[in-house]
Amino acid sequence: MIRLLYNLVLFLLLPGVVAYHYYRSKSRGRRSALPERFGALPEADLALIRGERVIWVHAVSVGETIASFPLLKGLRARYPQHRLVLSNVTETGRSVALKSELADLCIYLPFDYGFAVKALLRKVKPELIVLMETELWPNFISAAAGMRIPVLLANGRISDRSFRRYLRFSWFFRPILRQLSALCMQTGDDAARIEAIGAAGSSVHVTGNMKYDVPLVRATPERVAALKGEYGIPGDAFVFTAASTHQGEDEPVIAAYQELVSAGGRQILILAPRHPERAP
């Protein structure tokens, strides 16, 4: 009954979902990803994995994608005979995934419609699916479980705010969590929260935060100078970067920057909103 209501809501949202994504891609002059979001893949992409053993890693956006890099490298080293598929939801996540060149195939995760996820699962035929952080898509997880494909949650986390929301709907999430083969959580608190929501304790493990496994690459003075020259920034300027800002955070950043400017010296502000559509 619960799943029926969920799918009914998805069905009612379908026209709006299609219209939104179609006009969004048209307004940006980009190729629509709608076919992929409904389980279709170009023949050239399918050819890369056809007949091969596949491990599928899903990372919703940029942060999760970067956190998946150590995992992808480890999988490549341990299972060199497998093809690695990396899926995303956001355009920015997809861009980072493609640039990393760590996966054999980068795709968009289908919308959580049963027909879409089943269609893509039949084409990709993964032996294992790894969901980064807390990506709980009921139809996707259930379809994989129905095909006897193990699904793992990696680098899982549940914030205080998310925990209250998940707990309120634990009756909905409990059966989904019980279909996961293993839940690897960042901390003991995360593990306790996911169990409280409904995960089986025997499937929950504390494995730490994979983002700490991503090596930090410090720019050399030569690289810094080259970047400043590329963007027309004076070599002696102090560069103040506000990255991944959300709506409402830009104003205090700009105010702080103006105070720095009034103090004297060459000050340059680089403002990088989290969502590209907010950039001028």
222 among known catalytic residues: no
Instruction: Supply the pLDDT for residue 105.
Output: 97
Tokens of 273: 């909103």
Contact 37, 107 (CB under 8 A): no
Instruction: Supply the pLDDT for residue 201.
Output: 94
Least Cα distance to 203 among 211, 194, 212 occurs for 194
Q: Which of 64, 91, 133, 135 does the annotation list as catalytic?
A: 64
Cα separation of 171 and 165, whole Å? 12
Instruction: Supply the pLDDT for residue 31.
Output: 65
Tell me the β-bridge partners of 270.
Answer: 241
Q: Structural domain boundaries of the chain?
A: 34-213, 221-278
Cα separation of 126 and 229, whole Å? 46
Check residue 155 and report its DSSP letter.
Answer: E
Residue 42 identity (one-letter amino acid) = P
Check residue 151 and report its DSSP letter.
Answer: E
62 C-beta neighbours (distance < 10 Å), count: 19
Q: Which of residues 54 and 231 earns the better pLDDT score?
A: 54
Contact 71, 154 (CB under 8 A): yes
Task: Say if strands 82-88 and 53-58 run parallel, antiparallel, or are unpaired.
Answer: parallel
- CA distances for 202 relative to 89, 135, 140, 154, angstroms: 30, 20, 23, 15
Q: What average pLDDT does the segment 175-203 reach?
A: 96
Lowest-confidence pick of 50-59, 99-108, 140-149, 218-227: 218-227
Its pTM stands at: 0.80
Q: What average pLDDT does the segment 157-181 reach?
A: 93
Q: Looking at the structure, give the CATH architecture of the domain made up of residues 34-213.
A: 3-Layer(aba) Sandwich (3.40)
Instruction: Supply the pLDDT for residue 269.
Output: 86
pLDDT band at 238 (very low <50, low <70, confident <90, very high): confident
Could you identify the residue written with the tokens 């379908």? 14
Q: What average pLDDT does the segment 147-153 reach?
A: 97
Instruction: Supply the pLDDT for residue 99.
Output: 95
Contact 240, 260 (CB under 8 A): yes
